[in-house]
Amino acid sequence: MVKKIKIEKKTLIAVFIILGFLILIAGYSFINKSNILKINPTELDGQTLEAKFAVLNNANTNFCAGADILQKTNAERLQGSCCSPMDFHRYEEQVEGLKKYSYIKEIPEDPYDISKVWAEKFLDHQKNIQLTEKQQQVYDEAMNMSMEGGPCCCKCWRWYAFEGLAKYLITEYDFDSKQIAEVWDLEDGCGGSGHVSHGTEVERTTFEPEF
């Protein structure tokens, strides 16, 4: 009888130790998540990719709007996806892929974290940079090669801003159609695991640029 009681006490002690360990893990996870969500969205430099994702996936200063988004938000940065929730694996692929073009400071290093100043500059380039006939052929070929059939999945502010970026890269860096299409694909800010809609019937909202 005494032996049985001792065994039961040992079992209870073991159970309490395991429960205590699990509570500590849960507490640490909660605190860690809380700290990530407290990160200032304008101070993402130096944060881990996981921390950036946690912030940007919950951000809403980027949304599907025309060029008037610059007036519709007071935020300094257009952050988050405009259509579907972000996918971490795809986000990681995009950020890693964009490192290839890090020598060009005009190419945003994070497709889900765009400064309003950048957007304004390249919306202006979209209006004012004129392509030659040969350069326009490069642009048109890139449209056919890109996943979205253009700079974005719909003609929102991103479409026109990244059209401006393409014009800039073609005229200033002599980018070919393959490079333009790749930049557009890597800068896709629609969310999801790929958001490929080119060649499929997808209902799209069109926003004409308002300047």
Encode pLDDT of 112-136 as tens digits.
999 999 999 999 999 999 999 999 9
Q: What is the mean pLDDT of residues 63-87?
A: 84
Which of 145-149, 151-155, 184-188 has the weakest average pLDDT? Answer: 151-155
> Domain range for residue 111?
49-186
- 40 located within any domain: no
- 11 located within any domain: no
Q: From residue 163, how far is each of 46, 96, 122, 128 by CA, in Å?
A: 29, 22, 8, 11
Q: What is the mean pLDDT of residues 21-37?
A: 40
- 59 located within any domain: yes
pTM higher than 0.85: no
**How many domains are there within the chain?**
1
The rounded distance, in Å, linking the Cα atoms of 131 and 166 is: 10
For residue 135, the model assigns a pLDDT of: 98
- 62 located within any domain: yes
- 155 located within any domain: yes
What is the tens place of the pLDDT at every residue in 89-116?
999 999 999 999 999 999 999 999 999 9
Which of 54-58, 70-74, 138-142 has the weakest average pLDDT? Answer: 70-74
The rounded distance, in Å, linking the Cα atoms of 94 and 66 is: 24
Going by the DSSP 8-state scheme, the letter that residue 141 receives in this structure is: H
